[in-house]
Amino acid sequence: MLMMLAIILALASAARYYFVITLGERIVSDLRRDVFDHVTRLSPSFFDVNQSGEIVSRLTADTTQIKSAVGATASVALRNTILCLRAIGMMVYTSPKLSSLVIAAIPVIVFPLVGFGRSVRRRSREAQDTLATASAYAGEAISAARTVQAFNGEAMAQAPLRRRRRKRL
């Protein structure tokens, strides 16, 4: 009976993973299509201000982050929420006094984690912006490599990326 339970759990986990990943892929595909449709309808002044490489980088990198959040992360969060609620219920059933102490300690642990998470999210957004800008600049410099080399502008094309690296160090 224990072996059958393990097999059923394995099949259920595999099905959950398959459906969550499929859902994440579909959401990202729809999102990329909608963003691309929106970008193609923007005014020419938008393309004067923003580099095409940055737009393409955002289209791929940002949607990949969303896929990661919607895919495995959402599934794990849902599973852990259900497990947490069941565990709290079992704790209260087993020992109400001890459970009240544990539940009282949860805010002390959770609030610093939420603050730290916001800091990480902000830094992640800054890193994503930097990556998008660098990718855009590199993409445009590489696509215009003949022009850059014709005017002997290799050093000038490398300068913005070197300045960014020095700022971070």
Provide the pLDDT for residue 154.
Answer: 73
Question: Is pLDDT above 60 for 165?
Answer: no
Q: What is the mean pLDDT of residues 84-104?
A: 90
**How sure is the predictor about 169, in pLDDT bands with cuts at 50, 70 and 90?**
very low
State the Cα–Cα distance between residues 105 and 111, nearest whole angstrom.
11
Residue 56's closest CA among 114, 119, 134? 134
CA atoms of 130 and 151, how far apart (whole Å): 27
Using the predicted structure, report yes or no on whether residue 62 has a pLDDT greater than 50. yes
Dump pLDDT digits (tens) for 97-132.
998 988 888 888 888 888 888 888 888 888 877 777
How many residues are given for the chain?
169
The pLDDT, as a whole number, for residue 164 is 53
The arithmetic mean of pLDDT across residues 71-87, rounded, is: 82
Residue whose C-alpha is closest to residue 51's, from 39, 67, 35: 39
Dist CA 52 CA 97 (whole Å): 61
Q: Which residue ranges form the domains of the chain, and what is each CATH number?
A: 2-39+51-168 (1.20.1560.10)
What local confidence, expressed as pLDDT, does residue 46 receive? Answer: 83
pLDDT classification of 39: cutoffs 50, 70, 90:
confident
